[in-house]
Amino acid sequence: MQIMTYNTGMQKHQWREESEEGKVVYRATYHAGEWKLCSQLKGEESWDHYDPIPEELLLKLRDVMWNKYQRGRCPHKLVAKIDAMLEK
């Protein structure tokens, strides 16, 4: 039996996607029970912050976190928090 432990501090999760403008990097952070999301077009210096996070991006974040959860890379509570945000 394997016991999994997770970092209880701030967690960062990142993924990339192709868009019409080029490659976009998304960075999500979970700290103090709250998700924050920002994105950056490759080659730009500034980050675009989302407050509140649009539903479309929440769904993408949920997919990323669900895949990590299935591989044992993050706790289920992070996925559950996103689900609660989607229900609102």
CB atoms inside a 10 Å sphere around CB 18: 9
Residues 6 or more apart in contact with residue 13 via CB below 8 angstroms: 27, 28, 29, 30, 61, 64, 65, 68, 74
Please tell me whether the peptide bond between 52 and the residue prior to it is cis, using omega within 30 degrees of 0. Answer: yes
Q: Which two tokens stand for residue 81?
A: 């928090």
Residue 82 lies in a domain: yes
| Domain that includes residue 77, residue range | 11-87
pLDDT in tens, 50-84: 999 999 999 999 999 999 999 999 999 999 999 99
List the strands of the sheet with 48-50, edge to edge: 11-19, 22-31, 34-41, 48-50
58 occurs within a structural domain? yes
**Position 70 in a domain:** yes
Answer whether residue 6 is part of any domain: no
Q: What is the pTM of this model?
A: 0.85
Q: How many domains does the chain have?
A: 1
Residue 83 is assigned to a structural domain of this protein:
yes
